[in-house]
Chains A and B, each alone.
Chain A
Amino acid sequence: MQKHNYGTAILAGFEYLLEKYPEVFIIGQGLWSPWYVGNSMTDLDKKFGVERVIDTPVSESACTGAAVGASLAGMKPIVVHPRMDFMIYAMDPIVNQAAKWSHMLGGQAHPGLTIRSIINRGGEQGAQHSQALHAWFAHVPGLRVVMPSTVSDARDLLIASVLCPDPVIYIDDRWLYDQEDELDDVVELNLADQRPIISIKGSDITIVSCGHTSLLSRHAADLLRDNNISAEVIDVRVLNPFIADEIISSVNKTKNLLVVDSGTLSSGFSAEIISKVVENISLNSLKSLPKRIALPDAPAPTSKELEKNYYINVDDITKEVKKILLT
């Protein structure tokens, strides 16, 4: 057992991959001075060499495209975008190339790269340093999208993503980095077998979330327990391909559903979760209408007071749960 926080768990995942698989390399901005990414990449360049841990020109598109090309040639590249907002420059290699090559070439090409993208918000950074665009990527057939919310998933889903021959968008969130846990030795997982998991068992309401809001939902469930409310918390983990079986079973049991998403509301991932549930249950069995909490349909504001109000906190979740159950 080793004590880790979320950031060092990611670091441990990188170290495991670089040690064991010579075809793994990492490319992205800031890797030779990784102060953008907390403690998740410290000294990788010194330990594994600058040929395998590559800091780059300010060229998101070419660097992501290069990783796609290297993966087609048998490498297992990891691209790091320290802020998801800048990754928008790389949409062509991600959406038109990586996501499509297997399909449009008859399953013969394997763009098995992993793109680590960080949601890095708060701190009055504003609209272009804060976005959580996981729903965009989950909408693209051919991209696997994972959002680890726990310390163990931070390490183990990273390893599973890199070992998977499909393109994977691995999204972590700086607001998850303070979590601590003890980790066993690595067991390599098949990413295609990973699916949503029940983080906390409960019987009164199902709360579904992904990434940072999964952490908030777990905290909320702890607080609700003090009010004799038993919330079942489900962490989506894998947004595409999205398997909703566990969520549907849970809602059939609790008969109440709240979805909490760290992206904006309209056309967001919260809508997909609710759709998959209501398409697959008897609506008469529900005790309340499914509800969702997400960010307002507005870019992230900069000013401190507006920012505080914009983001979701644990209170928002407990209040909504009480409203659903007590009205």
Chain B
Amino acid sequence: MKNNLNELTDPTKLHEPVSISNIDDEILKKMLKSMILIRETEHKLAEARKEGLIGGPVHLGAGQEAIAVGISQSLQPTDRVFGAHRSHSHLLALNPDFYRLFAEILGKDTGFSKGMGGSMHLFDQHSGFYGSVPIVAGTVALAVGAAMAAKMQNTNDIGVAYIGDGAVEEGVVHEAFNLSKIHESPILFVVENNLFASHMHISLRQPNDMISRFAVANEIPFEVLDGNDVCSVYRSAKKLIEQMREGNGPRLIELVTYRHYGHVDWRDDIDVGVKRSQKDVADWKERDPITRLSKSLISEGLWSPDEEESFKEELRTNISLAWEKAMNDPYPDLTATMKYVFSYKSKEES
């Protein structure tokens, strides 16, 4: 495999604090808190899954928080964001309501998808989160269509498609890239390149580790960045999104990252991952997006270890309370299985 991403894929590099220049203090703190909230929420899910309290699979994205958080600062609630199987962060970065996420994952009526979706089918259109599904690349064309609609509706809204490095191995992604470019649709393709599709390392799946080569093939402007540097993600996404809101067509941003957990649930997946070693996981945890921003803010006097500790303490209390509340919430009514198949009702049904 050609290593076009160079040091971005070397986990012994890029451990230092991130540069916070030219970003508003409030946004910096907001991004830090958002990343911590997502991390703590996912730790709770990992623990609950391990204890057997969650019935279905959870695909955790701990380690990858900087991407959704960096992107979402430039989004508006009327944008159209589509996710995939590992989308807790994509949703929580737009709406930090972990209680409704817990309720959803527990299959409760109070969840984001009214308990009908679980971890893999999330919905919160009010915040711009149109939906996530576990069919790899299943929402890419949908996001393009929602972006085409934004243009037809004379808005400056954009579509956002979160995809992974595995998704580009599906043919529809290339159809979607091409279609979006032909129509100059305002769609941001966010490629979370975490180097793995399930258990398989990218070197066993593709001849080149840089996913952006497909942007080149479709004349789509793109950027490739350290996905664990929330400030870089923020600056780059802000610029690309502004270009799209001004009437320009698709953009692609490739963020190199790594997940702390295995493909699914709480395990490390060292045993089932091909080319996933304990050393790699440990090295990647040193390139942690939260620690790197926290250190920068502390050294600039914008944040302190005490503040971080009390923030986490309060958050953990709230997470525990939300979890307990969700655990006690009702399941959907038994009629739900049939009720939601169609939206439209006949005279007899309504």
Residues of A within 8 A of B (CB): 25, 51-52, 56-57, 59, 61-75, 77, 92-93, 96-97, 100-110, 112, 141-142, 144, 164-166, 190-193, 241
Contacts and interface: CB of A to CB of B under 8 A. Distances in A.
Name the residue in B130, B142, B179 with the highest tally of chain A Cβ atoms < 10 Å from its Cβ. Answer: B142
B138 A92 contact: yes
19 contacts: A51-B152, A61-B141, A62-B179, A63-B179, A65-B140, A65-B141, A68-B142, A69-B147, A71-B145, A74-B149, A96-B138, A97-B133, A97-B138, A104-B133, A105-B117, A106-B113, A106-B340, A109-B125, A191-B344
A192 B125 CA distance: 26
Contact of B343 (A107, A193, A241): A107
A108 B159 contact: no
B25 to A, nearest CB: 35
A69 B80 contact: yes
B131 A105 contact: yes
B60 to A, nearest CB: 20
A144 B342 contact: yes
A106 B115 contact: yes
A295 B347 CA distance: 36
Given A93-B141, A96-B133, A109-B123, 7 more contacts: A63-B179, A66-B145, A77-B145, A97-B135, A104-B113, A109-B125, A166-B342
Interface in B329-348: 332, 336, 339-347
Nearest to A96: B135
Contacts of A112: 343
B123 A105 contact: yes
B339 A107 contact: yes
B162 interface: no
Contacts of A96: 133, 135, 138
Contact of A66 (B135, B141, B339): B141
B345 A109 contact: no
Contacts of B159: 69
Interface stretch (B170-178, B265-273, B290-298, B305-313): B170-178
Contacts of B172: 61-62, 65, 92
Contacts of A57: 175, 178-179, 182
B94 interface: no
Contacts of A108: 113-114, 123, 125
Contacts of A52: 152
B326 interface: no
B222 interface: no
A99 B348 CA distance: 22
A66 B146 CA distance: 7
B144 interface: yes
Contacts of A61: 141, 171-172, 175
B145 A65 contact: yes
Contacts of B125: 108-109
Name the residue in B144, B332, B344 with the highest tally of chain A Cβ atoms < 10 Å from its Cβ. Answer: B344
B271 to A, nearest CB: 31
B317 interface: no
B123 A106 contact: yes
B82 A69 contact: yes
B113 A102 contact: no
A69 B182 contact: no
B135 A166 contact: no
A200 B13 CA distance: 79
A166 B344 contact: yes
Interface string B126-165: 0000110101001111111111111011000001000000
A73 to B, nearest CB: 4
A252 to B, nearest CB: 21
Given A62-B144, A74-B153, A105-B131, A192 B138 contact: no
Contacts of A110: 343
Which 10 residue pairs spanning A and B have beta carbons closest together?
A65-B141, A106-B114, A69-B145, A66-B145, A69-B142, A62-B175, A59-B175, A192-B346, A73-B149, A70-B145
A104 B343 contact: no
A142 B130 contact: no
Nearest to A103: B340
A56 B179 contact: yes
A159 to B, nearest CB: 14
Nearest to A65: B141
Contacts of A71: 145
B331 to A, nearest CB: 12
Contacts of B148: 66, 69-70
Nearest to A112: B343
Contact of B349 (A65, A73, A142, A192): A192
Contacts of B152: 25, 51-52, 70, 75
Nearest to B130: A72
A77 to B, nearest CB: 7
A112 B343 CA distance: 9
